C-alpha cells in the first residue's frame, strides 16, 4: 500500500509560532508499519532531506517554502508494561501530547513528571531535547527509547546511557541528528513520590493555594498556575516557550557579575559552574516587552519570543540575533537558542 503524500501544505496550524510555511511534500504516519511503508516508497527523497514534525512547539520556520520532506508523527498509545515494588514502567508512543501524558500519570498515581506539567509538544521530542523545568529533567525518568533508522530502515532500542543526556541535549540532537524517528519512550515512574518543590516559585504557589498535604496533583497544579501566569498561550500569541537556554558560566565570572549586578539570578550546576537565568539577562539588557512589527519579546517573560500575528520566521530569528549580541556586549555571556531553526 502506497502512503498518501500531500503537496504544498501550509504548516501554520502545525507550529506553535503560527508561522505560515509551506511544505512541498508532507505525509503523516500513525504506526511503525506506516512509517516503514512511507520510507520504503520515498526512500531517496526522504533520505536526501527530511524533517520530523511532532507537536511543532520547539521549531521556528524561517523559509516560506520547505523543500524538506515533512513527516508528521502521529503514533499514539500509553501502556503500563511492567512494575516492581518501587516503580512503574510506562511505554508511551511518540505522537502523544506531553501534557496529556503528564495528566494521565497524575490520574494513575505515577510520580516523577508532575514538575514537567504544561510543557508544550509531544512525547517523541522529550528525549531529543531532554526537556526540563522546575528542577526536573526528563532524563530523570527515561528508561529507554525506541527509534527508527531512516537510512537503514531498521528499528533500534536505546538504553538510558546510549542517549547521552545533557542540558537540553542528547545523542539524538548531536551525533544522531536527523538519522532517527523516535517511535516510543519507556518511562520509569515512582510509586512513592519524591517531591521537588525548592525550585522557582513552587513553594510560594503551594502556600498561596493553601496546600498543606503535598501530592503530585498539587505540585502539577502549582506548576500549571505558575506557567500560565508567566507564559503566553500559543493559541492566543504565537510562541515556542523559552527561546534561549540558561547559560552556564564559571563561578569566577558569576561572582564578578554579582559585584556589578547584585540581583543577578544563578544556580550552581553539579559540575561547579553557575547556571544564569537567561530571562534576567535579556530583561536587564532592555528587551522585555520589545516589539518591532509583529515580532516581539514577551512583556511578562523575556525568555519568550512571540509572533503577534503576521511575523515571519526570519523576523523572529533576526530579533533573537539582536538579543544575543546585546547580552554578549553587556554581560560577556553568549546565549544559545533552545528552539530549533529550520
Give the pLDDT confidence of 187-198 residue by residue, as tens digits.
Answer: 999 999 999 998
For the chain, counts of helices (H) and of strands (E)? 9, 20
For residue 326, the domain's CATH number is 3.90.78.10
Residue 223 lies in a domain: no
Catalytic residue status for 242: yes
pLDDT tens, residue by residue, 252-294: 999 999 999 999 988 888 888 999 999 999 999 999 999 999 9
Distance CA 126, CA 103 (A): 16
Cα 288–chain centre separation: 22
Expressed as residue numbers, the domain containing 287 is 238-341
Q: Is residue 230 part of a domain?
A: no
Q: What is the pLDDT of residue 51?
A: 93
Domain assignment of residue 197, yes or no? no
Mean pLDDT of 134-162: 95
- Strands in 266-268's sheet, in edge-to-edge order, are 248-249, 274-276, 266-268
Is 227 among the catalytic positions?
no
Does residue 45 sit in the same domain as residue 89?
no
215 in a structural domain: no
Whether residue 153 sits in one domain with residue 101: yes
Instruction: Give the pLDDT mean for 106-126.
Output: 96
**Left if phi > 0, otherwise alpha if psi is -120 to 50, otherwise beta: which for 189?**
beta
Model confidence at 3, in pLDDT bands (50, 70, 90)? Answer: low
pLDDT for the residue numbered 1: 42
The rounded radius of gyration (Å) of the Cα atoms in the chain is 21
Which pLDDT value is given to residue 268? 86
Q: Which CATH number does the domain housing residue 90 bear?
A: 3.30.465.10
Q: How far apart are CA 181 and CA 200, in angstroms?
A: 34
My answer on whether 108 and 166 are in the same domain is yes
Same domain flag for 176 and 260: no
* 268 located within any domain: yes
Residue 271 is predicted with a pLDDT of 85
Q: Taking the model in full, what pTM does it have? A: 0.87
Number of domains in the chain: 3
Q: How far apart are CA 260 and CA 277, in angstroms?
A: 16
Q: Are residues 183 and 276 in the same domain?
A: no
Active-site residue among 68, 96, 315, 338? 338
Q: Are 264 and 205 in contact (CB under 8 A)?
A: no
Residue 200 located in a structural domain: no
Last residue of a domain, one of 73, 92, 113: 73
Q: Under a CB-based contact definition with an 8 Å cutoff, are residues 106 and 220 in contact?
A: yes
Q: Quick one: average pLDDT of 44-68?
A: 93
Same domain flag for 150 and 245:
no
Q: What is the CATH number of the domain that holds 14?
A: 3.30.43.10
Q: How far is CA 336 from CA 239, 261, 339, in A?
A: 17, 22, 9
Residue 207 located in a structural domain = no
Within a domain: 331: yes
Q: Residues 126, 171, 220, 242: which is the catalytic one?
A: 242
**Could you tell me if 180 and 258 lie in one domain?**
no
**Cell triple for 43:** 526512500
User: Which of 168, 170, 171, 205 does the annotation list as catalytic?
Assistant: 168
The DSSP symbol for 19 reads -
Give mean pLDDT, residues 109-120: 96
118-122, 187-191, 198-202, 243-247: least confidently modelled range: 198-202
Residues 140 and 113 in one domain: yes
Same domain? 156 vs 130: yes
Q: What is the mean predicted confidence (pLDDT) over 230-239?
A: 90
The per-residue pLDDT for 2 is 46
Last residue within a domain, chosen from 48, 73, 98: 73
Residues 244 and 313 in one domain: yes
168 is catalytic: yes
- Asked whether residue 165 falls in the same domain as residue 102, the answer is yes
Looking at residues 11-23, what average pLDDT do you find? 95
Residues 26 and 87 in one domain: no
Which of 52, 73, 94 terminates a domain? The answer is: 73
What integer is the mean pLDDT of 44-53? 91
Mean pLDDT confidence for 313-338: 96
Amino acid at each position: 500500500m502506497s502512503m498518501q503524500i500531500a503537496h504544498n501544505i501550509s504548516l501554520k496550524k502545525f507550529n506553535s509560532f503560527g508561522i505560515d510555511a509551506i511544505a512541498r511534500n508532507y505525509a503523516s504516519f500513525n504506526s511503525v508499519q506506516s512509517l516503514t511503508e512511507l520510507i520504503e516508497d520515498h526512500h531517496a527523497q526522504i533520505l536526501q532531506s527530511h524533517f520530523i514534525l511532532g507537536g511543532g512547539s520547539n521549531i521556528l520556520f524561517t523559509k516560506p517554502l520547505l523543500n524538506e520532506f515533512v513527516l508528521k508523527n502521529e503514533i499514539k498509545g500509553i501502556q503500563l508494561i511492567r512494575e516492581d515494588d518501587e516503580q512503574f514502567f510506562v511505554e508511551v508512543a511518540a505522537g502523544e501530547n506531553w501534557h496529556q501524558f503528564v495528566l494521565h500519570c497524575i490520574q494513575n498515581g505515577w510520580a516523577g513528571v508532575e514538575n514537567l506539567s504544561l510543557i508544550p509538544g509531544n512525547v517523541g521530542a522529550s528525549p531529543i531535547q531532554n526537556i526540563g523545568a522546575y528542577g526536573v529533567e526528563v532524563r530523570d525518568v527515561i528508561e529507554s527509547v525506541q527509534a527508527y533508522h531512516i537510512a537503514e530502515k531498521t528499528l533500534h532500542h536505546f538504553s538510558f546511557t546510549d542517549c547521552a543526556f545533557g542540558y537540553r541535549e542528547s545523542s539524538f540532537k548531536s551525533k544522531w541528528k536527523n538519522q532517527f524517528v523516535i517511535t516510543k519512550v519507556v518511562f520509569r515512574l515512582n510509586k512513592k513520590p519524591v517531591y521537588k518543590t525548592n525550585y522557582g516559585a513552587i513553594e510560594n504557589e503551594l502556600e498561596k493555594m493553601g496546600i498543606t498535604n503535598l501530592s503530585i496533583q498539587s505540585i502539577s497544579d502549582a506548576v500549571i498556575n505558575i506557567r500560565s501566569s508567566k507564559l503566553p498561550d500559543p493559541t492566543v500569541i504565537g510562541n515556542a516557550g523559552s527561546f534561549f537556554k540558561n547559560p552556564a558560566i564559571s563561578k569566577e565570572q558569576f561572582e564578578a557579575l554579582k559585584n556589578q549586578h547584585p540581583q543577578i539570578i544563578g544556580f550552581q550546576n553539579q559540575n561547579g559552574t553557575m547556571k544564569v537565568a537567561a530571562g534576567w539577562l535579556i530583561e536587564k539588557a532592555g528587551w522585555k516587552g520589545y516589539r518591532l512589527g509583529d515580532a516581539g519579546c514577551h512583556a511578562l517573560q523575556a525568555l519568550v519570543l512571540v509572533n503577534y500575528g503576521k511575523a515571519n520566521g526570519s523576523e523572529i530569528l533576526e530579533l533573537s540575533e539582536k538579543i544575543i549580541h546585546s547580552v554578549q556586549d553587556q554581560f560577556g555571556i553568549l546565549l544559545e537558542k533552545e528552539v530549533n531553526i529550520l
